[in-house]
Structure 1
């Protein structure tokens, strides 16, 4: 059960990330900021894909995956609401902080002997690289 809990934590992070990017995309669509949308849509889709993959892994482990981001979802909603009030760069920096936190969580999980090998393989072959690319994309957007 401990193994499922660790994978479930990663799933909740991804659910929170997907919700946060969805909120950001809605905000940028309201303001017709096409450049931001072009950068953020692929990141949103990547997080949505990671949710599906982690849910599948939890099912394979015999668990019932959550569809609720829990406390992280509430936290990200609060951060994004504040960031919306403070503007574009603040919102993008909040997304960047979330990506960096997610990268750290994946790096730790990849080294955790309690994480099943197929989940570690998913992290090492896909999820770590996606997080790193998301960080690069957000940095490019902030610098551009």
Structure 2
């Protein structure tokens, strides 16, 4: 394998992994939007807090899309199967109110955190991008939802 082919293969692997993260972030943005809409309709006061967390995920969509393009890839534009699942979960959670909705969102944040922690097989530049540019915000949104959930107990 030539060095050019090795780099191309590494970039392809990184693009695939980053696109998987991107789909998860798009799913998070969609899920937060659905949850906010339903909770606002129920008169919940959690909307502002959730909008802030949603904005963090939207910013990560932008960062991931840009990084995929920098690597020569095409950024995925949908949330894939996880997004469809998240819509079903959130649709059901909204019926049960704030506590169930926050629990469902926290579960999604747990999943996102695990995705960002699993960096086996990615190049060092991509690893540093995830750890430096994405993971701190993922931890922040995860911790914020965990605190909201604890406050409801």
Q: Structure 1 length normalisation: TM-score?
A: 0.90
- Identify the residue that residue 97 of structure 1 maps to in structure 2: 107
Q: Contact 1:14–1:48 (CA<8 Å) still a contact in 2?
A: yes
Give the superposition deviation at 1:115.
3.7
Cα distance in 1 between the residues matched to 2:136 and 2:56: 11
Q: Contact 2:109–2:141 (CA<8 Å) still a contact in 1?
A: yes
Say whether 1:82 aligns with 2:82.
no
1:42-95: CA deviation from partner (whole Å, max 9, x where unpaired): 110000000010000110111111110010110100110111122211111010
Cα distance in 2 between the residues matched to 1:82 and 1:76: 10
Match 1:39 to one of 45, 49, 64: 49
Relative distance call for 1:115 and 1:78 in structure 2 (3 A) is farther
- Identify the residue that residue 129 of structure 2 maps to in structure 1: 122
Gaps of 5+ in 1: none
Give the superposition deviation at 1:116.
5.2
Say whether 1:9 aligns with 2:20.
yes
Q: Contact 1:15–1:73 (CA<8 Å) still a contact in 2?
A: yes
| Bigger mean CA deviation after superposition, 124-133 or 11-20 | 124-133
- Identify the residue that residue 4 of structure 2 maps to in structure 1: none
Gaps of 5+ in 2: 1-11
- Identify the residue that residue 118 of structure 2 maps to in structure 1: 108
How many residues matched? 140
Give the superposition deviation at 1:40.
0.7
Structure number with bigger Rg: 2
Q: Structure 2 length normalisation: TM-score?
A: 0.85
Cα distance in 2 between the residues matched to 1:62 and 1:48: 22
- Identify the residue that residue 39 of structure 2 maps to in structure 1: 28
